[in-house]
Amino acid sequence: MFHTTFYLRRLHSLVGLFILGMVIFEHIFTNSMALGGAAALNGSLAMMELIPKPIFLMLEICGIAIPLLFHAIYGIYIALQANNNPGRLGYIRNWQFALQRWTAWFLVVFLIWHVFYLRIFTKGITGTPISYELLQSYFTGSPIVAIIYILGMFAAIFHFCNGITTFCMTWGIAKGPRIQNVIGVLSMLLCALLCVITLAFMGSYFVM
Across 79-96, average pLDDT:
66
The model scores a pTM over 0.75: yes
What pLDDT is stored for residue 41 in this prediction?
95
Q: Which residues contact 155 (CB under 8 A, 6 or more apart)?
A: 103, 106, 107, 110
pLDDT digits (tens, 9 = 90+) for 130-173: 999 999 999 999 889 999 999 999 999 999 999 998 899 888 88
DSSP 8-state assignment for residue 172: T
Across 19-42, average pLDDT:
95
Q: Give the confidence band of 95 by pLDDT, cuts at 50, 70, 90.
A: confident
Q: Which residues contact 11 (CB under 8 A, 6 or more apart)?
A: 70
For 4-207, which CATH class? mainly alpha
Q: Give the confidence band of 67 by pLDDT, cuts at 50, 70, 90.
A: very high
DSSP 8-state assignment for residue 129: P
What pLDDT is stored for residue 83 in this prediction?
62
Rounded-to-5 percentages of helix, strand, coil across the chain: 85, 0, 15
- Annotated domain spans of the chain: 4-207
pLDDT of 19 higher than 60: yes
pLDDT digits (tens, 9 = 90+) for 185-207: 999 999 999 999 999 999 999 98
Are 69 and 23 spatial neighbours (Cβ–Cβ below 8 Å)? no
What CA–CA distance (Å, rounded) separates 80 from 70? 15
Across 68-78, average pLDDT:
90
